[in-house]
Amino acid sequence: MKVSTLVEERRLARTTLPIMEAFHTIQGEGYHTGTPAYFIRTGGCDVGCHWCDVKESWDSSKHPETDIAQLIANARACESPLVVITGGEPMMYDMAPLTTGLRENGLNVHLETSGAYELTGDWDWICFSPKKFKAPLQEYYERSHELKVIIYNRSDFQWAQDHAFKMHADAKLFLQPEWSKADEVMPLIVQFVKENPVWRISLQTHKFLNIP
């Protein structure tokens, strides 16, 4: 089956989603760093970042189709006011049923996405993290609250600036070192942010804390 056909089929109105894991932890990255949150990680991603730290998420068939009503009940039971939906790439699916249900239950719902697929769902916060390996869609520059660019090498700074110029004026801008290259690129990021103070540094603090 062609990839486009497969994605269209996956995005039909759904009562289940392939879920890799769901867990209560601390948001380790970006604008909401340090906030307790219930994370829901969808299975399935075809963006193909070579440094991806969740490659086990890529094959959606390896993750159980999980009832959306059950996901909402589990999030409620966790009693965290914040739910973060990440992946994999959540936008490969129609997120409206899950996000509407979560918000109807009084939960704040945040998204982490590469922006490679049309935006669906109802969100309190969108963290847009574009990748070189699959071009993002224009709507994310206008609708995201936060741009988070992963820095793997020197050329990524200009790439980050190119994306920042397309964002709306209120967007928060973050640079985050790719974990395996942090020792090498962190001094460059510090210097860059000192010279370009519109940017902030995001660290994967959950990895330093050794929590999920």
Residues that bind ligand SF4 (CB under 6 A): 45, 47-49, 52, 54, 57, 87-89, 114, 131
User: How many whole angstroms separate alpha carbon 55 and alpha carbon 52?
Assistant: 6
Question: Smallest distance from the beta carbon of 77 to ligand SF4, in angstroms?
Answer: 27
Listed residue (179, 129, 170, 169) closest to 149, CA to CA? 129
Nearer to ligand SF4, 90 or 101 (CB): 90
Query: What backbone phi and psi angles, to 5 degrees, belong to 159?
Result: -60, -40
Nearer to ligand SF4, 101 or 141 (CB): 141
Nearer to ligand SF4, 89 or 146 (CB): 89
Question: Smallest distance from the beta carbon of 42 to ligand SF4, in angstroms?
Answer: 9
Burial class (CB in 10 A: 0-12, 13-18, 19+), 183: exposed
Query: Token pair of 149, please?
Result: 């660019």
Report how far apart the first and last C-alpha atoms of the chain are (Å, whole number): 35
Say if residues 147 and 173 touch (Cβ distance below 8 Å): yes
Question: Smallest distance from the beta carbon of 18 to ligand SF4, in angstroms?
Answer: 13
Question: Smallest distance from the beta carbon of 94 to ligand SF4, in angstroms?
Answer: 18
Nearer to ligand SF4, 59 or 124 (CB): 59
Question: Smallest distance from the beta carbon of 154 to ligand SF4, in angstroms?
Answer: 20
Distance of CA 90 to the CA centre of its chain: 8
Alpha helices (runs of H) in the chain, residue ranges in sequence order: 3-10, 68-78, 96-104, 139-143, 155-164, 182-195, 205-209
Listed residue (163, 162, 159) closest to 151, CA to CA? 159
Question: Smallest distance from the beta carbon of 178 to ligand SF4, in angstroms?
Answer: 9
Nearer to ligand SF4, 89 or 156 (CB): 89
Nearer to ligand SF4, 20 or 107 (CB): 20
